[in-house]
Amino acid sequence: MIKPKLTKNCNICGNSFKPFKTTDKYCSWKCANSDQKEDKKEVKFYQIKKQSDKLKKDYSVYLKLRKEFLSNPDNKYCFIDGCNRLATTIEHTKGRIGKNLLDVSGWRPCCWNHNSELENNTELSEKYQYSKFHKGKKIKK
């Protein structure tokens, strides 16, 4: 036989109750939820930054340099052989990580189609991009 219990830490009723199971601690749903609200601590959520402060500064400089680079008459057309489309993007032949983001010597004017093609086609990228493993020099075959 189950003995009557007092409601555990109940601020609402404080009455004793006859539990249905031995594991029951509260007389009602209302008493159970009032206790949980007091026990829960307020958890603060924060969002991780998409860009660090340093990258934000570098990126603002990059956007200005990019605009100047593409407005230059020498960089008006795509650098891929046989392509006469207007350059709308920059191909970073040395990569974009670290100081290479602002290194204009590794930039080439490129149309949007060839920029995505350089990402997906390994033969084309080996022909036109610098190797990251050979200290920025082109791969010779």
The residue count of the chain comes to 141
**Whole-Å CA distances, 127 to 28, 46, 123, 124, 139:** 74, 45, 6, 5, 8
Helix boundaries (H) for 46-129: 53-71, 112-120, 122-128
pLDDT in tens, 52-77: 999 999 999 999 999 999 999 999 99
- Assign 138 to helix, strand or coil: coil
pLDDT tens-place string over residues 3-29: 666 665 555 666 666 777 777 776 777
| DSSP one-letter code for 87 | P
pLDDT in tens, 85-137: 999 999 888 888 888 889 998 899 999 998 888 888 888 877 877 555 445 45
**Under DSSP, is residue 20 helix (H, G, I), strand (E, B) or coil?**
coil
pTM across the whole model? 0.57
